């Protein structure tokens, strides 16, 4: 049986004409200017992105994924569900955060189960590094959040060392409720009885005005 799309999946996929210029969010989400933007960095099969976008239709959601098959699958899922608040871009996560997200544009950056690159000689490839946090702090609005989830304890300890040394973020207590969707990885790891490690980092809010 052919899937029934409520709009063409191609409208969900987005590739910038000039990958060196910040995204025009008004053109990316026409008619939805002013809606809070959440970004799923490394959206995988799209299950988390589509679930959270369906639960928060008043927000815009941008998925970032470098594998074409996953981008296509996520786009088809959004078109099947009629999620007009979803776009997917095929690029590396760090590149999108550093060069394409306008300053102060994102309310939440989700980093769900990033590749832990466990071998020491590959640690420099890990997403969570000081340069990424610099870019994330620039992309997030005041009071914005960076939410991190991993099953890999050594990588989580590395994350903690990185963001504890960064001046732009403050860690907040975070235990998401049942309304926070699980990724395909999380479902697999929980089925195996593996612990899940989480962190929520917040940028400082703007100071109160003095009239």
Query: How far is residue 105's CA from residue 164's CA, in Å, rounded to a whole number?
Result: 24
DSSP 4-66: --SS-GGGTEE--S-TTS---HHHHSTT-TT--EEEEET-TTSHHHHHHHHH-TTSEEEEE-S
Token pair belonging to 133: 């946090």
Token pair belonging to 156: 């989580």
195: three-class secondary structure by DSSP = coil
Catalytic residue among 115, 134, 151, 211: 115
Residues 6+ apart with CB under 8 A from 159: 128, 148, 150, 199
40 carries an active-site annotation: no
Query: How far is residue 196's CA from residue 211's CA, in Å, rounded to a whole number?
Result: 46
Report whether 63 contacts 87 (CB < 8 A): yes
Q: What are phi and psi of 57, to 5 degrees?
A: -65, -15
Which positions are catalytic? 115
């Amino acid at each position: 049986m052919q899937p029934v799309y409520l709009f063409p999946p191609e409208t969900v996929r987005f590739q910038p004409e000039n990958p060196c210029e910040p995204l025009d969010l008004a053109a990316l989400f026409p008619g939805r200017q002013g809606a809070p933007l959440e970004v799923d960095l490394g959206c995988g099969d799209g299950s988390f992105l589509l679930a959270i976008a369906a639960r928060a239709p008043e927000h815009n959601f941008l998925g970032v994924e470098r594998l074409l098959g996953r981008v296509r699958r996520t786009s088809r899922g959004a078109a099947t569900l009629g999620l007009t608040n979803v776009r997917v871009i095929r690029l590396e996560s760090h590149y999108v955060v550093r060069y394409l997200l306008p300053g102060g544009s994102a309310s939440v950056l989700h980093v769900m189960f990033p590749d832990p690159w466990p071998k020491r000689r590959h640690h420099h490839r890990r997403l969570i590094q000081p340069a990424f946090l610099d870019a994330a702090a620039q992309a997030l609005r005041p009071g914005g959040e960076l939410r991190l989830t991993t099953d890999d304890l050594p990588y989580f300890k590395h994350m903690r060392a990185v963001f504890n040394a960064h001046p732009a973020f403050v860690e907040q207590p975070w235990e998401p409720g049942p309304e926070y969707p699980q990724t395909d990885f999380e479902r697999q790891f929980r089925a195996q009885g593996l612990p899940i490690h989480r962190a929520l980092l917040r940028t400082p809010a703007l100071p109160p005005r003095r009239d």
